[in-house]
Amino acid sequence: MPLYFGMFVSVAAYLVGMALKKKLGWAILNPLLVAILLVMALLKATGISYGDYNQGASYISYFLTPATVCLAIPLYKQLELLKKNLAAVLCGITTGVAGSVLSIFAMSLVFRLERVHYVSLLPKSITTAIGMGVAEEAGGIVTITIVSIIFTGILGNIVAEGWFKLVGIREPIAKGLALGTAAHAIGTSKALELGEVEGAMSSLSIAVAGLMTVIAVPLMAGLIG
């Protein structure tokens, strides 16, 4: 398998996703979701293994760390706005993290989930790198955590615009905080599309919500034995 197969296919699939969105304009045609499904379908149809694909494609993923570093750029540009709205930022992210772990706890009770599955889902709204470590510490199944984090991110990315309209969230700062706290970096890529203020607030939320969740999960994990 050529090393550039995985890279080319990923980029081409994303291009197709962008073109489809432009042509049809449906919100459900999120370019990221379309790209993921296209690559999955291609692998299934051709019988090429994920390992062969990822041998090349994984090089794309390596750029996620420097890209995360660069989230400091929109954040720096909006620093004055951040200082002015510090109360809203802290309150928004704190209630979001609390809402996340409490709603997961309540629904885990309803579904009578085992502890191992419950703690695997607890860090689902934060960035993969933090979430994996948190789930591992709490004794969860890391694979399930990764799947739920990615699924959450894509879901947040897709539904955000429609959901904000539906529940009446209009302030750019609030939108950015909501996207970053609910859907980490994948949500932040949507926030950056919405605008610079949204992108900056979302970037900040990844870091702050991630760190708050590191503290919240061990406290919550003991509640289901």
Partner 1 sequence: MKYLKEIAIIFGITMIGELLNQWIPFPVPAGVYGLFILLGLLCSGAVKLQDVQATGNLLLDLMPLMFIPSAVGLIEKFDELKAILVPFFVITVVSTLVVMTVTGKSAEWIIRRQKKEEN
Q: Smaller CB distance to partner 1: residue 218 or 222?
A: 218
Q: Which of 119, 160, 197, 216 binds partner 1 (CB under 8 A)?
A: 160
Residue list 18-77, contact with partner 1 (CB under 8 A): 31-32, 35-36, 39-40, 43-44, 50, 53-54, 57-58, 60-61, 63-77
Provide the mask over 161-200, with x wherever binding to partner 1 is found by CB under 8 A and - wherever it is not.
Answer: --xx--x-xxx-xxx-xxx-xxx-xx-xx--x------x-
**16, 20, 29, 147: which one binds partner 1 (CB under 8 A):** 147
Q: Indicate whether 87 belongs to the interface with partner 1 (CB under 8 A).
A: yes
Exactly one of 119, 127, 197, 221 binds partner 1 (CB under 8 A); that residue is 127
Q: Tell me, letter by letter, the H, E, C secondary structure of the chain.
A: CCHHHHHHHHHHHHHHHHHHHHHHCCCCCCHHHHHHHHHHHHHHHHCCCHHHHHHHHHHHHHCHHHHHHHCHHHHHHCHHHHHHCHHHHHHHHHHHHHHHHHHHHHHHHHCCCCHHHHHHHCCCCCCHHHHHHHHHHHCCCHHHHHHHHHHHHHHHHHHHHHHHHHHCCCCHHHHHHHHHHHHHHHHHHHHHHHCHHHHHHHHHHHHHHHHHHHHHHHHHHCCCC
Applying CB under 8 A, among 48, 141, 194, 223 the residue interacting with partner 1 is 141
